[in-house]
Amino acid sequence: MKNTAIIGAGAVGTAMGYLLSSAGYTVTGIASRSLESAVKARDFIGQGEASTDLAGTASSAGIVLITTSDDAVRQVCEGIAHRDGFRPGSLVVHTSGALSVDALVSAKDKGASTVSMHPLQSLPSVQEAIKNIPGSYFCLESDDESALDTAREMVRVFQGKVLNIQLGGKPLYHAGAAVVSNFLVATIGFGLQLHESAGIDRQDSLNALLPLIQGTLKNIEKIGIPAALTGPIARGDAQTVEDHLASISRENPDLLGLYCELGRYTVKLALEKGSLKENDARKILELLSRYGSH
């Protein structure tokens, strides 16, 4: 079960092929839409046959890693299944965060086991992926225990850690990851815009905020959420919240709704933390709805 075929010769496919072959797996073939990408990946991995024949390449191995772009996974899998490219008893894996294991149903119908194995990490290039994969969490989704066992073994080879998820949970899992990663960037952009309105140079502001962001992350790592929450809402400081709202409604009225929405969620966390009293929470929520409806 250590013969592996890679379908989709991009950053993730090439890096996983390289890491698996370094750990003693045999990469029998790398197939992609373009021969150029397949050859480049094969040269990097140092073994396997480069091809554009997806079904032929898949049939050469017991493990088939589909690492195409998300929107091609289902269709690529169906194409290989249609051409009888999956061996019965083989394991077919995709690495998409957004797609469920169900995207591989055509392989399952041909007697293969299926699992989705998403590295919860940002992998912008092959080199970065090789550096970042070890230590990352892998979200595994399957209803097949033996498929999960083989996937866990691959995660061990990647020096990763397993995050288990219930079948059907992928969209919310992916939404959670996108909220944390993408909305963090959006939230920092929001703060920078308020500082710019206060006349602070954007780069100076980012330089000054980075230690605050890093300190907050350290607190989250150490004591978790909601314990790491600080600031006027956590303290129940309604006057400060009102000053924020009044200034934003004057200088950045388009951002008022966003402040109020995040503020309401922050009230919920502060109540969970126990630092905000019910009475102060009511006052702050009343301010947030009054300004939020402007």
Ligand X SMILES: NC(=O)c1ccc[n+]([C@@H]2O[C@H](COP(=O)([O-])OP(=O)(O)OC[C@H]3O[C@@H](n4cnc5c(N)ncnc54)[C@H](OP(=O)(O)O)[C@@H]3O)[C@@H](O)[C@H]2O)c1
Smallest distance, Å, CB 156 to ligand X?
A: 18
Unique residue bearing structure tokens 């061996």: 87
Q: Which two tokens stand for residue 264?
A: 């309401």
Smallest distance, Å, CB 189 to ligand X?
A: 21
Residue from 17, 29, 85, 97 touching ligand X (CB under 6 A): that is 97
Of 192, 230, 232, give the one whose Cα is nearest residue 208. Answer: 192
The residue among 130 and 267 lying less far from ligand X, judged by its C-beta, is 130
CB-based burial label for 264 (10 Å; 0-12, 13-18, 19+)? middle
Smallest distance, Å, CB 171 to ligand X?
A: 14
69 binds ligand X (CB under 6 A): yes
* Per-residue mark of binding to ligand X, 163-192 (x: CB under 6 A): ------------------------------
Say how far apart CA 98 and CA 185 lie, in whole Å.
Answer: 20
Smallest distance, Å, CB 45 to ligand X?
A: 14
Q: How many residues bind ligand X (CB under 6 A)?
A: 24
29 binds ligand X (CB under 6 A): no
Q: Which two tokens stand for residue 250?
A: 């004057």
The residue among 65 and 287 lying less far from ligand X, judged by its C-beta, is 65
Please report the sign of the dihedral spanned by the C-alpha atoms of residue 2, residue 7, residue 11, residue 12: negative
Smallest distance, Å, CB 70 to ligand X?
A: 5
Question: Which 111-150 positions form the footprint of ligand X (CB under 6 A)?
Answer: 118-119, 121-123
> Does residue 155 come out as left (phi exceeding 0), alpha (psi in the -120 to 50 range) or beta?
alpha
Other Cβ atoms less than 10 A from the Cβ of 235: the count is 15
Smallest distance, Å, CB 182 to ligand X?
A: 12
The stretch among 28-36, 137-145, 185-193, 226-234 that binds ligand X (CB under 6 A) is: 28-36
Instruction: Please give the helix or strand (H or E) that residue 164 lies within, else none.
Output: strand 161-164
Smallest distance, Å, CB 128 to ligand X?
A: 9
Other Cβ atoms less than 10 A from the Cβ of 111: the count is 11
Question: Which 238-277 positions form the footprint of ligand X (CB under 6 A)?
Answer: none
Residue from 68, 100, 116, 150 touching ligand X (CB under 6 A): that is 68
**Cβ proximity of 194 and 206 under 8 Å:** no
Say how far apart CA 77 and CA 79 lie, in whole Å.
Answer: 5
Of 113, 94, 90, 105, give the one whose Cα is nearest residue 12. Answer: 94
CB-based burial label for 231 (10 Å; 0-12, 13-18, 19+)? exposed
8 binds ligand X (CB under 6 A): yes
The residue among 13 and 263 lying less far from ligand X, judged by its C-beta, is 13
60 binds ligand X (CB under 6 A): no
The residue among 33 and 195 lying less far from ligand X, judged by its C-beta, is 33
58 binds ligand X (CB under 6 A): no
Smallest distance, Å, CB 38 to ligand X?
A: 7
Which residues lie near ligand X (CB under 6 A)? Answer: 8-13, 32-34, 37, 67-70, 72, 76, 95-97, 118-119, 121-123
